[in-house]
Amino acid sequence: MKITYYGHASLGIEVNNVTILVDPFITGNPKASHIDIDALEADYILITHAHQDHILDVEAIAKRTDAVLVSNFEIISHFEKLGLEGHPMNHGGQWDFEFGTVKYVNAIHTSSFPDGSYGGQPGGFVIEGEHKNIYIAGDTALTFDMKLIPLRTKLDLAILPIGDNFTMGIDDAIIASDFVDCDKVLGYHFDTFGYIEIDHEEAKRKFFDKDKDLMLLDIGASIEL
């Protein structure tokens, strides 16, 4: 499983010869100006919630690639009206896709569309594929519900928001990594705008001091699990 960071909360995942994008927000992120969305492959696009900084490039990429969208029922209904293909889910449900299993899990946040219309409840994803298991938390506070994840799934990587203000910050993310029983963390949802700028060295040191590993990737960089 290969994971690429496209800035903010945008990810690419290559698993079992399928390419998944998560929460594509690239053309609106000046820090990701070197990423060309017209060059991105996508068989599936996973969407955690309806906020603009998670859906901005969904329509453009899905129209070009015919990617299947995976999200909550309300978000899929919204995009189906725009002519896109989707697979609706809701919290606690999982589905076996061609590339592996996806479970839509709880997040504590909000989920309105940019025009204020209802975007269902926000979530995260647990993805199991190629004998690797990852948790993509989405935008969320620290929540006890995270403790449910390791009851079913031994994670190899937890992808957690660390920018604070709109989501949990570093100190809560360290507790979250305990809750999900995974000491290997990829940080996201930081530095994109002023409210969520972080000190990278301090963040990594705080994880290191708890015998945990926080990875912060350059935009466009990848890791292999």
Residue with Cβ nearer Ni ion (51 or 78) = 51
Query: Cα(218)–Cα(191) distance, rounded to whole angstroms?
Result: 11
CA 45 to chain centre: 10
Q: For residues 2-31, which are near Mn ion according to CB under 5 A?
A: none
Query: How far, CA to CA in Å, does 51 sit from each of 14, 181, 222?
Result: 24, 28, 25
| Region of 48-56, 59-67, 178-186, 208-216 interacting with Ni ion (CB under 5 A) | 48-56
Query: Cα(77)–Cα(82) distance, rounded to whole angstroms?
Result: 9
Residues 6+ apart with CB under 8 A from 106: 91, 92, 123, 124, 140, 143, 145
Q: Is 139 in the site for Mn ion (CB under 5 A)?
A: yes
Select from 53, 57, 128, 172 the one that contacts Mn ion (CB under 5 A).
53
Residue 217 in 3-state DSSP?
Answer: coil
Answer for the pair 4, 39: CB distance below 8 angstroms, yes or no: no
Answer for the pair 9, 53: CB distance below 8 angstroms, yes or no: yes
Query: Cα(21)–Cα(58) distance, rounded to whole angstroms?
Result: 9
- The site map against Ni ion for 121-160 (x = CB under 5 A) is ------------------x---------------------
Answer for the pair 89, 95: CB distance below 8 angstroms, yes or no: yes
Q: Minimum distance between the CB of residue 95 and Mn ion, rounded to whole angstroms?
A: 24
Select from 13, 19, 50, 51 the one that contacts Ni ion (CB under 5 A).
51
Q: Is 23 in the site for Ni ion (CB under 5 A)?
A: no
Residue with Cβ nearer Mn ion (133 or 143) = 143
Q: Minimum distance between the CB of residue 52 and Mn ion, rounded to whole angstroms?
A: 8
Q: Minimum distance between the CB of residue 193 and Ni ion, rounded to whole angstroms?
A: 12
Q: Minimum distance between the CB of residue 200 and Mn ion, rounded to whole angstroms?
A: 19
Count of residues interacting with Mn ion (CB under 5 A) = 2
Residue 114, both tokens: 């940019």
Q: Minimum distance between the CB of residue 166 and Ni ion, rounded to whole angstroms?
A: 6
Interacting residues toward Mn ion by CB under 5 A: 53, 139
Interacting residues toward Ni ion by CB under 5 A: 51, 139
